[in-house]
Amino acid sequence: MQTSAMAQLKNCSDWPDEALVRDAVTHLTPYQPGMPVSEVKRKYGLTEVIKLASNENALGPSPVALRALAEAAGQLHMYPDGSSYDLRHGLAKLLGVHMDQVIVGNGSDELIKLIAEVFLNPGDEVISWQPGFTQYGWAAHIMGANHFSLPMRDFQYGLADLQQVLSPATRLVCLASPNNPTGTILTRSQLEQLLEMLPAQALLILDEAYGEFVDRPDYPDGLDYVKAGHRILLLRTFSKVYGLAGLRIGYGIGSPAAIDYLQRVRNPFNANSLAQAAALAALSDKEHAQASRIAARQGRTYLTGGLTEMGVKVVPGEANFLLVDTGYPAPEVFEGLLRQGIIVRPCQGFGLPTYLRISVGTPGQNEMLLEALAQVLADCRRKYDYSGKE
């Protein structure tokens, strides 16, 4: 009896054979998030660690959102409102669209997957840019669609490249503006050019996760183009300027018909009750959102100055992070910073072997980053520049 139970257990642990898993899934690699603070503390025996790796809001969440969250906590025994009515209503009013044009997701990440589930059949084509946000390609692959990555040119979007790959099989063109990890934007004239070349069977996914941080006058508001009836699905999030990344809540805006299809494939209670309450309250806290914008802009300027002074090349960007080229192997610089208790994002995975993505922190954190990086780069110089290349 015991032997057969053991045999069964072995069978279970071997199960499933790859042949039983959908082809699309066997080729997937899971998303690699930045290292959590607790892990770095454990690994390096540190008590203080700062994370500048995931483009979170350095000011933290809005106090108004926190109060709403505390109030909502008393109702945690109840299921959330599955339709996120109040939040969708609040968003629609603020944005000047109909509530039927708004969907709420468990982070905008979830919405990317829902879009893929609604629009992609095996063999359909999805186009995005590299280096760029990896979730568009991941969602395409889950559905067995083909994903094409166009190269950014000097870290800018290139539409000539797009024109060459658009085909009758193109279903989605996905881009983030500002882009992650470059921080660069799609300008108004580029957006209009793109919409003109978009084939009738294709939808533009315009991801404005960092849109609130942009000051440039040539930055288009995607909402204007949704309202004008273009084939755009806009993605926005409460994770960045609103400082609610831990609650996982984002939203999409599009035509009522497109949003209706997305509603059909989401989980019944995809946005939890605390997230809905906090997000709605955060919308009303204009002061916190404005302070977050100012902090990002000032931090960007401060970091750009300090980094440039130490010989690090900074890609001019518009978001709450910077893409920088230290000239030395990113994993090594990353590790050197980790030892000093600072987590950044090494960018070799984006095809940028000497680049780091650094989120703007508080003024104190930014200062610590510059000091620590100066030390790490001094070590790199000693190792690579004086004793001959490794």
Ligand X SMILES: Cc1ncc(COP(=O)(O)O)c(C=O)c1O
Contact status: 318 vs ligand X (CB under 6 A):
no
Q: 317: which residues sit within 8 A by CB, 6+ positions away?
A: 178, 182, 183, 184, 300, 323
SS3 state of residue 55: coil
Piece in contact with ligand X (CB under 6 A), picked from 103-111, 196-204, 280-288, 374-382: 103-111
CB of 46 to ligand X, least distance (A): 25
Interaction residues for ligand X, span 120-139 (CB under 6 A): 133
Task: State which of residues 62, 101, 180, 359 lies at the interface with ligand X (CB under 6 A).
Answer: 180
Cα 325 versus chain centre, distance: 21
Task: State which of residues 145, 150, 176, 226 lies at the interface with ligand X (CB under 6 A).
Answer: 176
Strands 146-151, 125-130: pairing is parallel
Q: In the stretch 189-228, what mask flags binding to ligand X with x, by CB under 6 A?
A: ------------------x-x-------------------
Of the two residues 105 and 341, which places its CB atom closer to ligand X in the complex? 105
Nearest to 193 by CA among 218, 163, 166, 155: 163
User: Which tokens hold the place of 323?
Assistant: 């893409």
Contact 244, 272 (CB under 8 A): no
Task: State which of residues 57, 190, 239, 320 lies at the interface with ligand X (CB under 6 A).
Answer: 239
Contact status: 237 vs ligand X (CB under 6 A):
yes
User: Which tokens hold the place of 260?
Assistant: 């209706």
Contact status: 174 vs ligand X (CB under 6 A):
no
Task: State which of residues 61, 243, 250, 336 lies at the interface with ligand X (CB under 6 A).
Answer: 250
CB of 317 to ligand X, least distance (A): 12
Piece in contact with ligand X (CB under 6 A), picked from 86-94, 237-245, 258-266, 301-309: 237-245
CB of 386 to ligand X, least distance (A): 38
Q: 384: which residues sit within 8 A by CB, 6+ positions away?
A: 328, 390
Whose CB is nearest to ligand X?
A: 107
Number of CB atoms found within 10 A of residue 284's CB: 15
Question: 308-317 contacts: CB < 8 A, separation 24 or more?
Answer: 310/370, 310/373, 310/374, 310/377, 311/377, 312/373, 312/377, 315/155, 315/182, 315/183, 315/184, 316/183, 316/184, 317/178, 317/182, 317/183, 317/184
Task: State which of residues 108, 128, 184, 292 lies at the interface with ligand X (CB under 6 A).
Answer: 108
Piece in contact with ligand X (CB under 6 A), picked from 107-115, 263-271, 273-281, 367-375: 107-115
SS3 state of residue 158: coil
Residues that bind ligand X in the complex, under the rule CB under 6 A: 55, 107-109, 133, 176, 180, 207, 209, 237, 239, 245, 250
